[in-house]
Structure 1
Amino acid sequence: MNAVRVLYKPVGLMLGVTGGLLAGIAFKQAWKIIGHDDDAPDATDEDRTWREVLLAATMQGAIFALVKAAIDRAGATATRRLTGTWPG
């Protein structure tokens, strides 16, 4: 493992945490618009329908995956610009 990869590990972890926080905020906002409710349903919420629970889970997964991929890619691209090496 080269030095860039070793140095990128803690940066990647911090980016991951930041991405998780941003994805959570984005999901809450999206659910307010689509679900017409402030809180997304939990899987065990008996007052919610299967459709609501599965839609919320699908949206949450898609948003988290999108944000994670975008932040990981941006971090790797920035590292290559700074160092000339892809951290991969």
Structure 2
Amino acid sequence: MAKAAKIAYEPVGLALGVLSGVIAGAAFKQAWKMLGHDEDAPDATDEDRTWQEALLAAILQGAVFPGAKAAGDRAGATVTRRFTGTWPG
């Protein structure tokens, strides 16, 4: 039964992975605006931005994206267990 759960989890996990990436991108953009920045977040090599802006953007992005991925993975595993009766671990 565990093999069936893993097989069932594949398409669910893939779809939720894409969705969580989209949600994470929107959440990051919103958080960046809430911090008082109207423009897009800087890249590390953006010459026109300060060290503080570049590092803050990287730290915030580094927190948001893995959190969204973990939430999507957990939701996918939960849905899979509901349908198969087995956790897809």
- Give the TM-score, by structure 1 length: 0.90
**Higher relative contact order (CA closer than 8 Å, sequence separation 6+):** 2
Distance 1:64 1:56, change over 3 A: same
Partner of 2:41: 40
Contact 1:28-1:39 within 8 A present in 2 as well: yes
Letter in 1 for 2:62: G
> Does residue 1:14 correspond to 2:15, yes or no?
yes
RMSD: 1.3
More deviation, 23-32/75-84:
75-84
Could you tell me how far apart the structure 2 residues matched to 1:30 and 1:38 are? 12
Deviation per residue, 1:14-59 (Å, 9 max, x gap): 1101100110011001101114222101111111111110110110
TM-score, structure 2 as length reference: 0.90
Take 1:37 and 1:44, find their aligned partners in 2: how far apart are those partners? 19
Counting aligned pairs with the same residue, the percent is: 69
Contact 1:28 1:38 in 2 (8 A): no
List gaps (5 residues or longer) in structure 1.
Answer: none
Instruction: Tell me the matched-pair count.
Output: 88
